[in-house]
Amino acid sequence: MLTKDISQSVMKKDHIEKVAGQLPYVSDVKLEDMLYGVLYRSKVAFGKVLSINYPPLPDGYYVVDADDIQGDNFVKILVPDQPIFANEWVNYIGEPIFILVGKELAILYDLLEKVDVQMEEHEATYTLDEAIDSMNGVMATHEFGEKPEKITEVEQNAYQIIEEVFETGYQEHVYLEPQGMLGIYEEDEIQVKGSMQCLYYIKNALTSALACNEDEVRVIQSPTGGGFGGKEEFPSMMACHVAIAAQAVKKPVMLLFERSEDLEVTTKRHPAKMKYRTALDEKGNILSMNVELFLDGGANTGLSPVVLQRALLNSAGVYKIPHYHAKGYVLKTNTVPNGAFRGFGAPQSFAGIESHMGHIARVANMDPLAYKRKYLVKQGDPTITNGRFRDPILVEEMITDLSTIINYCQKKDQIAQFNRQNSRFKKGLGVSLFLHGCGFTGSGERDHIKATVKLIKSEDEKVFVKISNSDMGQGIFTTLSKIVSQELDIPYEKIQFPYPDTKEVPDSGPTVASRTTMIVGKLLERAAKRLKEQWQHGVIQEIVEHYVHEEMIPWDEENFTGDAYPAYSWGVNMVEVKIDILTGTVQLENVHAGFDIGKAIDERIIKGQIDGGMAQGLAYGYMEKMTSKEGKIQQRSITDYGPPTSMDIVPIKSKLYDNPYAGGPYGAKGAGELTLIGGAPAIQAAIEDALQINFQQIPITPEVMIEILNKKEGEAGD
């Protein structure tokens, strides 16, 4: 039975099965007559398919390609530019051309090596810089803020103009379970099971590809070993592959990725380039700021336009900047498509704006934190899109509290003294301030998602949660069950939450955008309240609840104005590092974090989100390096890529600040994405504080650090 304080932790719904190793993931499934699939992928970045010659196929082995597609040969997402099977042109190394299907994987891989595909190779665009130079492949663009002529007028009266370019690289999701999908043929329907975040994204893609009715497709989530956005849009393509193959051979078809294939061909966090032009007065005060933002979309549009929106909405950070203007682009390159990743464009923007504000602070001869505090938004202030920050903002209190906890001023003095006394080792302290909007941008929940949830009470008084949202380790089986249990005032154990199946659950929207607890949880709270009012013992009852849009300043997507989000979560990170300047290695010393996520539905789950999210964010800033050379991802193993281990991360001292939001269940707001965003800018600021050098990119790897230190030493020698 739950206590009255919903934040008190309980055992996770899937705890026992996971700890015991009994939870069957999609790769554990074995069906009679099940076949495996392997994909033939393009070996060139941009070219035309001239001919394909197959080796003789043994009995029971098949080729499935674009000719087997009954519907449209594209993955239905936003723009129809991503082929299911490329049958004419290929646009990146790794693009699927066909799938070989058969009983034994070893035989399939041997056959794959014997296929002869003749290609006419064309000149490709490999880098974001090349795309910016030509500006020929603009896949999306947005612009908003002060008129450019007003910015020019302000700049003409400025004392100083600061111009900077900031770059961020790829980031790989490194979910524990690689991508996997199973297609099952039945006479009246095609079933797809797998590791996924968004069941109805997949269902919509399948009805388009199979040219069938909705009731002829069934999508079921298997236990999912991590997602972080990497299993948002990408599984739709895999689902099409196995469904088309299963339909063609009329047998179950399993498609599983080895880690090397997963690293090479799945979506990544978009590399970005941000150009800042900021006008200052003689005291270092900001008069205006102009931001130009470029995202590398890769070869296909995917969800990049939405990622661009998020990046732009976060481009001014947590600051009230006078005379602000921003413009952004998604540009096409002939590289692996980039897509959703925890934070969805915000990590790039916050890495850039936090760096830029820190650098301006040094120009103004001020402590970076003190400088940033001058520009913090406050309750009632307009957002950069002329919406409104309606709810209390606790960032100032969080800064004061964390500064007291770590003795900020004393710590800065101790670090300065340490650095004066040591030539090889240097210490630094960095701070990042950040926010994250909760839910879909603007009117997306009302106009596009239109979420619906269902509760079913059985005769034996159990209550079943019927929603399409996926638990992929973040704990929604537990948190949403707690909300329903608390509202019904019945034991937590009586709430049942089976893995979602589109034959059983309504479309409650995708498991993305820090929306699940706040948006879907609120719907479940309302549904539970209605069920409690109507409760009848021993009777099956069903309650359906639909999303109702909160009245705000209307969102104008074309002009990028209005309230982008119903609520915001906020964070402060303080990171202390020690650097060996001979090797460029960075050692984390202390990590403190404060988060306002409204009300925690389960404190232990939130603490887990904080630890995991901050580890990802910190590593994005100084460890994780992924590169593409002539269109091909160079890292083919987790070791090559270099995510953090337990030896790299120190205990994270985090604190939650209670600031309930009326529109969320029990006051909850979004949490999952927020926890990643501040890590990279905080560690960059700490490295800069230690070395007294400005960096214009992340990750700041040892190689980057040594190169800049050597350059500085050379300049000093001159």
- Find, among 327, 266, 274, 328, the residue nearest to 298 by Cα: 266
How many angstroms separate the CA atoms of 602 and 8, rounded? 6
CATH fold group of domain 31-123+173-265: Aldehyde Oxidoreductase; domain 4 (3.30.365)
Q: What is the pLDDT of residue 557?
A: 86
Q: What is the pLDDT of residue 46?
A: 98
Q: What is the pLDDT of residue 377?
A: 98
Beta pairing, strands 160-168 & 272-280 = antiparallel
Q: What is the pLDDT of residue 440?
A: 83
Contacts of residue 386, Cβ cutoff 8 Å, sequence gap at least 6: 553, 561, 562
Burial class (CB in 10 A: 0-12, 13-18, 19+), 580: middle
Strand partners, 298: 332
* DSSP sequence for 492-529: GGGEE-PPPBTTTS-----S-TT-IIIIIHHHHHHHHH
Q: What is the pLDDT of residue 3?
A: 58
Q: What is the pLDDT of residue 537?
A: 96
CATH architecture of 15-23+444-546: 2-Layer Sandwich (3.30)
Domains 31-123+173-265 and 272-440+560-717 share a fold: yes
DSSP, res 471: P
Q: What is the pLDDT of residue 718?
A: 65
How many angstroms separate the CA atoms of 693 and 413, rounded? 18
Write down the CATH number for the domain with range 272-440+560-717.
Answer: 3.30.365.10
For the chain, list residues with pLDDT below 50.
Answer: 1
How many angstroms separate the CA atoms of 569 and 578, rounded? 30
Residue 632 three-state SS: strand
How many angstroms separate the CA atoms of 342 and 359, rounded? 27
DSSP, res 561: B
What are the angstrom distances between the C-alpha of 335 and each of 80, 126, 300, 366, 534? 18, 6, 9, 42, 55
What are the angstrom distances between the C-alpha of 166 and each of 189, 288, 346, 350, 709? 50, 18, 14, 11, 18
- Find, among 392, 395, 411, the residue nearest to 594 by Cα: 395
Q: What is the pLDDT of residue 62?
A: 98
- Reduced 3-state DSSP string for 193-242: EECCCEHHHHHHHHHHHHCCCHHHEEEEECCCCCCCCCCCCHHHHHHHHH
- Domain ranges for the chain, please list them: 15-23+444-546, 31-123+173-265, 272-440+560-717
What are the angstrom distances between the C-alpha of 451 and each of 394, 520, 544, 691? 30, 7, 11, 50
